[in-house]
Structure 1
Amino acid sequence: MPGANGRATQADVARVAGVSQATVSLILNGGDTGRRRAGEQTRRRVLDAIRMTGYVANPAAQRLAGGRTRIIGVFTYEPVFPRDSRDFYHPFLVGVEAQTEELGCDLLFFTSTPSREGRRLLGGGFRRLGIADGCVLLGRHDDKRDLADLLSRDFPFAFIGRRESDAGTVPYVGADYVTATREVVERLFALGHERVGFVGDLRRDEPSVDRAQGYHQAVRAAGSRPVVLNGTGLTGGEALDLIGETGLTAAVVWPSGLAPDIRAAALARGKSVPGDLSLAQLGDVEDGSPDDIDWTGFRIPREQMGAAAVRLLFEQLVSPTLLPADALRRSLPCTIVPGATTGAPARTRSRSGGGGVR
């Protein structure tokens, strides 16, 4: 029954089903219109022939024979395949893989889409996504045009990380950075710090906005005045200078990779952390730094987010109706880490606000 190379062909399917090869092609590739034109009885004969011959030459045949491909796509806006086990994205992918395996599905990474300045874009790659039943998207720097285009298509997807779009509700599983940041800053005020600064990325992407919101909530609740310092592109020493100029005794830092640089600069100047300056990270270090310091801050539930994104995607695939907007937006709590890089402010500091680190 199979051809000379041992693999069944469309011609084999047509011969077993008693139809023309054109009819087989129409049913496999013609979508709903093709199936209606061929008729239900003919369609069933072709599906029976597919099972008998073992014809699985393309994903369309697998969809018809098994309902879906049971392939879940993964698209990343930045190269995120782990370089080692400390890689920031590694736990996300562990969660994605484990949940996909549990659901009895396969993973397919999409890497051939257009790239610009080190960032991948879906661009014209939407047709390729159709190989999979749906897709999990990952990466800090997304593209709003991609999201709008995806929302306009009948294609299930889920983003790892909160994402918003003017075009509609983006299905996502995010981390509750607002609550986690607020709790970290509240702990610093509880230690006796009168002013706590925010040092870091002031861009308007969702992860940065959420952290800034949590910071401002805590500062307002403490009756203090916010001190927001743009740390983008600064060295640790430059950031430390800004902290000293504002008289701060404590600061929360985002992205987290800047915190070790600030600490190193303080130590180089004979200052101690947390003796002279309390520092907290707003999340996990992204560069896989081997630094073994017990940082105050919070841990992102990365593995759980990856798994939950796959479950959200799968729910969209099996649900007979569209999920409500609230069900498409999910947030997981972060784990607060008391750490050893924060403490009570030094007793010798001036209560007037002018005695910060210098």
Structure 2
Amino acid sequence: MEEPRKRARPGRAPAPAGRTSRPRQAEVARLAGVSQATVSLVLGGSKQGASISEETRQKVLDAVRSLGYVPDPAASGLAAARNNLLGVFSFTSTFPTDVQHSYYPFLVGVEQEAAVRGYDLVLFTGSSSGGAGAAGPNALNRVRLADGCLFLGRHAPAEELQRLVADGFPVVHLGRRDELEGLAWVGADYISASKEVVAHLADLGHRRIVLVREDDEAPASSDREHGFLKGLEEAGLPGGPDAVLRSADLRRDLTADRLRGWLRDGVTAFVAEETDTGDAWRVLRGAAGAAGLDCPGDASLALLGSPPPDLSEDPAPTGFDIPRPQLGAAAVRMLAALVAGEQATEPLVACTFRPGTSAGAPPAQP
């Protein structure tokens, strides 16, 4: 007896030739001509303050059938029943010994804003096992236990974040990440703050200034360097490659002899960037001490950010402070908007100039 022929599923187009992965929500959104948030609301049946026309709903459903899209089961379950949880995932140590110079200030703002909006928080301890990358390509899937997730850290894995965004999961990165299409982020205005520090040094009379930084591709580092060079340009001071020392080994390349050489060439001020390690500022101060320099008498120093914990008791350096609690609060506002299916925008948060005591007028020329 001939076996009954399996009936084809109606309305589903065949998968594109060569395709190895299932369609993603971002593709549904592009085909339907709507946002991913709208696709998420249509598929989840959410009524959270969003008015979706029948025409738009039908476009989404037609795109779903055409692509053969199957919603992620974990994400679908959460979309149908929000649990008022926001995730926080850090790619560096979240709670080092000195909380004032860790992610703690960010988390203060996160906690306060989450409480105002009726959310609880769940901390995902990615850094304790060497970060998400150490756990394989699906390491971030557990964040789907929350309604959305906030990510912190200079080196969050781009591919995994992009996968969450493509699946329509609400994600916000604390710190600029505009190289990842569709990823929402909030950040500090490091460019303007760095320009302000350079302008201050120029007003004091410095005419040659050098930036020392780690060899780091993090957007925050790039923004600081861009602002530094822009500040030199606006002040009419020499810039270019000679104005920046970028090194993967600052302890080797930033020595007392090198500082003395710069001073002989007319450099009178040195600027370091803040990073998670704090190495640039620590090595710069050490080299100045080894060279026997009185700062700011013999040379001025400035820091684009806050000093590392082991130097926090020293006199405050000239530079700027990062508004960490305000950034945390802004990130929660953006994440809550994405969870609700709304458009989410937050302006760059301004940093506060810190006069400090490490910069003064350049020494008189003999």
C-alpha contact 2:147 2:170 (8 A) present in aligned 1: yes
Runs (5+) with no aligned partner, structure 2: 1-41, 46-73
Q: Could you tell me the percent identity over the aligned residues?
A: 36
Question: Normalised by the size of structure 1, how large is the TM-score?
Answer: 0.72
From the superposition, tell whether residues 120 and 114 of structure 1 become closer, same or farther in structure 2 (CA, over 3 Å): farther
C-alpha contact 2:250 2:283 (8 A) present in aligned 1: no
Equivalent residue number for residue 200 of structure 2 = 187
The alignment status of 1:206 with 2:228, answered yes or no, reads no
Q: How does 1:304-315 map to 2 (within 5 A)?
A: 304-315=326-337
Equivalent residue number for residue 348 of structure 1 = 365
Q: How does 1:65-84 map to 2 (within 5 A)?
A: 67-84=81-98
C-alpha contact 1:236 1:263 (8 A) present in aligned 2: no
Q: CA RMSD of the aligned region, Å?
A: 3.1
Which of 303, 328, 338 aligns to 1:316? It is 338
Equivalent residue number for residue 106 of structure 1 = 120
Say which is worse superposed, 327-336 or 70-79, in terms of deviation.
327-336
Q: State the SS of the aligned residue for 1:199.
A: strand
Shift of residue 287, structure 1, vs aligned partner: 4.1
C-alpha contact 2:247 2:253 (8 A) present in aligned 1: no
Shift of residue 125, structure 1, vs aligned partner: 3.0
Amino acid at match of 2:360: G
Which of 289, 298, 310 aligns to 1:276? It is 298
Q: Take 1:34 and 1:292, find their aligned partners in 2: how far apart are those partners?
A: 54
Q: Take 1:302 and 1:113, find their aligned partners in 2: how far apart are those partners?
A: 20
Amino acid at match of 1:131: L
From the superposition, tell whether residues 201 and 333 of structure 1 become closer, same or farther in structure 2 (CA, over 3 Å): same
- Structure 1 residue ranges, 4+ long, deviating more than 6 angstroms after superposition: 32-35, 58-63
Q: State the SS of the aligned residue for 1:229.
A: strand
C-alpha contact 1:96 1:303 (8 A) present in aligned 2: yes
From the superposition, tell whether residues 111 and 347 of structure 1 become closer, same or farther in structure 2 (CA, over 3 Å): same
The alignment status of 1:301 with 2:301, answered yes or no, reads no
Amino acid at match of 2:302: A
Say which is worse superposed, 238-247 or 222-231, in terms of deviation.
238-247
Shift of residue 263, structure 1, vs aligned partner: 2.4
Shift of residue 164, structure 1, vs aligned partner: 2.0
Q: State the SS of the aligned residue for 2:335.
A: helix
Question: Normalised by the size of structure 2, how large is the TM-score?
Answer: 0.70
Residue deviations 1:113-152 (CA, integer Å, cap 9, x gap):
9955896667303432221000000001122212321221
Q: Take 2:354 and 2:96, find their aligned partners in 1: how far apart are those partners?
A: 25
Equivalent residue number for residue 167 of structure 2 = 153
Report the number of matched residues: 289
C-alpha contact 2:133 2:157 (8 A) present in aligned 1: no
Residue deviations 1:47-96 (CA, integer Å, cap 9, x gap):
xxxxxxxxxxx9998976xx510000111112222433333211011111
Equivalent residue number for residue 191 of structure 2 = 178
Shift of residue 178, structure 1, vs aligned partner: 0.2
Which of 131, 138, 146 aligns to 2:152? It is 138
Q: State the SS of the aligned residue for 1:136.
A: strand
| Structure whose alpha-carbon radius of gyration is higher | 1
C-alpha contact 2:92 2:131 (8 A) present in aligned 1: no
From the superposition, tell whether residues 118 and 275 of structure 1 become closer, same or farther in structure 2 (CA, over 3 Å): farther
From the superposition, tell whether residues 201 and 261 of structure 1 become closer, same or farther in structure 2 (CA, over 3 Å): closer
Say which is worse superposed, 255-264 or 82-91, in terms of deviation.
255-264
C-alpha contact 1:199 1:252 (8 A) present in aligned 2: yes
Q: State the SS of the aligned residue for 1:130.
A: helix
Amino acid at match of 1:348: Q
Q: State the SS of the aligned residue for 2:361.
A: coil
Which of 211, 236, 259 aligns to 1:243? It is 259
Equivalent residue number for residue 15 of structure 2 = none
Equivalent residue number for residue 16 of structure 1 = none
C-alpha contact 1:237 1:262 (8 A) present in aligned 2: no
